[in-house]
Amino acid sequence: MTEMVYRLGPGCEVDDVVEGNIYIGKVQGFATFGTFVQLNDKTKGLLHKSNVKTEKKERDTILVLVNQIRPNGNIDLREVIMEEGSYETKLVSKKVVISKLSDLRNKLGRNITVEADVVQIKQTSGPTIFTVCDEIGTEDAAAFTEAGVRSYPEVQLGDVVRIFGEANKRNNQVQIEVSDMIILRGEEADHVRARINRALEERAEPPTEVEPLVDSEVLRALWPEMRKLAKIVRRAVLTQQPIILRHHADADGICAAVSVETAVLQYIRENGGDPDMDNLLFRRSPSKAPFYEIEDVTRDLDMMLKDNVRFGQKFPLILLMDNGSTEEDMPSYKMTEVYNLDVIVADHHHPDDTIDKYLLAHVNPYHVGGDFGVTAGMLGTEIARLIFPGIEKKILHFPAVAGVADRSEAPELQQYLALIEGKYTIDQCRDMALALDYEQYWLRFNDGREIVKDILNINNAEDRHNRLVALLVEEANTAINEQVETMMPHVKEQVLESGARLFQADVEMFAHRFTFPPPGKSSGEVHDVLCKKYAGEPIVTLGFGPDFAVIRSRGVLMNIPQMVRSMRYEMPGAGISGGGHLIVGSIKFVEGMRSEVIAKMIEKISELGVEQL
């Protein structure tokens, strides 16, 4: 009969050792009275020198028979010699109770076993830190081999592992001091992964009691997709997936993004996140254009890859707000596809359905019969409430600020204004919007998190908020008035066959450059002056530079994205690109074709009908 030799599995202790059985061990060290033999990382015995039969060195494999287990837990061993192939080996698995990560605070100083998904691996100058996630929470597990040496190099991001160790506190944070870690495979891994996924799906589901703040057919129709987007964000937080939020750098985009930023950061902290890690788990970045430019995605990919190498982070979830819906986003989406990134969008620009194949969720009012009047700031506030309802009071005025900033004429704006009656007036909302536009111009690509909080009064520092907004509005209006006064004498007018008035403003030759307001806003301010002067008449304003034009329209049946597409087809040598809303947008072209492009734009606008105002 073949002899049985046992291998003591991870987590096994003295209670799992049986007298008279033979075990595979490793030589740990030597003393004058004998040899110490490890049966596993937790359990060792003494091989008395009288029971040594062969010469060994440290870490050599050895077969030992258990002579006696003493009452104090000491194990007496005797070396046995057996030829290879003359015995079978059997793993002794300890039947352990699997602890949940959320229970660690109640088990400090005790040995525990957890089964979890590896979501981050960071090598420090000392231990390797594995961040792991189970169905209840996320915690760190510290494993030490040598200073700065990667422990368990076979363990990779996304592996399901069983960790044996002791629950401890370090720098006031709970963590597991790892004694052993094994990768689960096959059905065992599938079972644990399925169990974790089921729990995460349930935890990530937005609260069912949250409904839109206002009575809106558009928002009600969009609600399932908004819940889907919010769930993806919540799950990213629960699984330690970093989030990069990109948004258009105007007041509407800022309101959309900051509302979600406020909700996500609070949700991170509510789920055990470290406030000092905010910048690693969540980043908000403004985009100059109302679409995801190649410059933006390149910056994000560069940062993402560095964080993956330096901090062992997962690749991020990309959330685009007040951009992301148009054909212009396609080149960047192709870049995200190379890295298999998750991308979600909440936008109110006219959507192009060719980009949907790149997105996990796409919230846009046009999908349900709405239009750009339901602004990104309105969408962002509602999505933020679905992510973390507790921030509602802080952001209740954001939809109104965003609505007046984007000159929304949707009925939803009046309802959002009614919600904050007695707290903020419409003029105060306009002032906050202008202050955001002015300050973001000087912030360039920076998020200005704390300044923006003061402008939007998130911190409830009323005196500082009032003084800051008043100062910024005064500076912005001074700059705008000077720009408009300089430009107006040079604005050219013509009346189209449709009866619409078309105005041309050269923002390159007759406006201050590299200062506030930028060309787009300068054109918009000139357009507002002309709309007041010619009240009740259809008006189009073209503000153009050497290789771009911005378009503002009132009362003309305009579809700027469609016009850009047709011009690109008809003028292949002009390098045309652009888009935006139906009646507000921009177009780029090569400088040598400026005259031809502007002439073609005017020709197309002349063919459009007008509304009855």
439 lies in a domain? yes
Number of domain units in the chain: 4
Read out DSSP for 247-263? EESSHHHHHHHHHHHHH
Q: Mark whether 340 and 441 lie in a shared domain.
A: yes
Q: What is the mean pLDDT of the chain?
A: 92
Query: Is 476 inside any structural domain?
Result: no
Q: What percent of the chain has a predicted confidence (pLDDT) above 70?
A: 98
| Same domain flag for 181 and 116 | yes
| Confidence band, pLDDT 50/70/90 cuts, at residue 416 | very high
550 within some domain: yes
The tens digit of pLDDT for each residue in 548-582 reads 999 999 999 999 989 999 999 999 999 998 888 88
pLDDT over 60 at 276, yes or no? no
The single-letter DSSP state of residue 576 is -
The answer on 427 and 371 residing in a single domain is: yes
**299 and 434 part of one domain:** yes
Q: Are residues 183 and 52 in the same domain?
A: no
pLDDT digits (tens, 9 = 90+) for 44-71: 999 999 999 999 999 999 999 999 999 8
Q: What is the pLDDT of residue 172?
A: 81
Tell me whether residue 474 is in a domain.
no
Tell me the average pLDDT across 267-274. Answer: 81
Three-state DSSP class for 89?
strand
What six digits make up the tokens of 449?
């998190």
- With bands split at pLDDT 50, 70 and 90, how would you rate the model's confidence at 278? low
What would the 3-class secondary structure string for 120-144 be?
Answer: EEEECCCCEEEEEECCCCEEEEEEC
Percent of the chain with pLDDT over 90: 77
Domain boundary among the residues 467, 501, 524 is at: 467
* 273 inside domain: yes
288 and 343 in a common domain = yes
Over residues 262-269, the mean pLDDT reads 94
Summarize pLDDT for 479-491 with one digit per residue, the tens: 999 999 999 999 9
User: Is the pLDDT at 184 greater than 80, yes or no?
Assistant: yes
Which residues constitute the domain of residue 155? 101-203
Owner of token pair 């002794």: 92
My answer on whether 170 and 23 are in the same domain is: no
For residues 454 and 335, membership in a common domain is answered with yes
Residues 366 and 277 both lie in one domain: yes
Residue 88 within a domain: yes
Q: Which residue has the tokens 């991870």?
A: 10
The closest alpha carbon to 495, from 524, 529, 531, 537, belongs to: 537
Q: Does residue 429 share a domain with residue 336?
A: yes
CA–CA separation, 226 vs 212, rounded Å? 10
- Non-local CB neighbours of 479 within 8 Å, separated by 6+ positions: 438, 515, 516, 517
Rounded mean pLDDT, 275-283: 72
300-347 residue pLDDT tens: 999 899 888 887 888 999 999 999 999 889 999 999 999 999 999 999
- Of 57, 92, 127, the position where a domain reaches its end is 92
We report the CATH number of the domain holding residue 259 as 3.90.1640.30
Q: Confidence band (pLDDT; 50, 70, 90) for 387?
A: very high
Asked whether residue 235 falls in the same domain as residue 129, the answer is no
Provide the phi-psi class of 9: left if phi over 0, else alpha when psi is between -120 and 50, else beta. Answer: beta
Assess whether pLDDT exceeds 90 at residue 110: no
Average pLDDT over residues 146-151: 90
**Which of 73, 92, 111 is at the close of a domain?**
92
pLDDT tens digits, 495-509: 999 999 999 999 999
Is 485 domain-assigned? Answer: no
Residue 1: pLDDT band (50, 70, 90) is low
pLDDT score recorded for residue 446? 92
Domain membership of residue 516 (yes or no) is: yes
**For residue 503, what is the domain's CATH number?**
3.10.310.40
DSSP state of 551: E
Cβ atoms of 379 and 256 closer than 8 Å: yes
Are 268 and 192 part of one and the same domain? no
Q: What is the CATH number of the domain that holds 54?
A: 2.40.50.140
pLDDT tops 70 at residue 275? no
Query: What was the pLDDT predicted at 310?
Result: 80
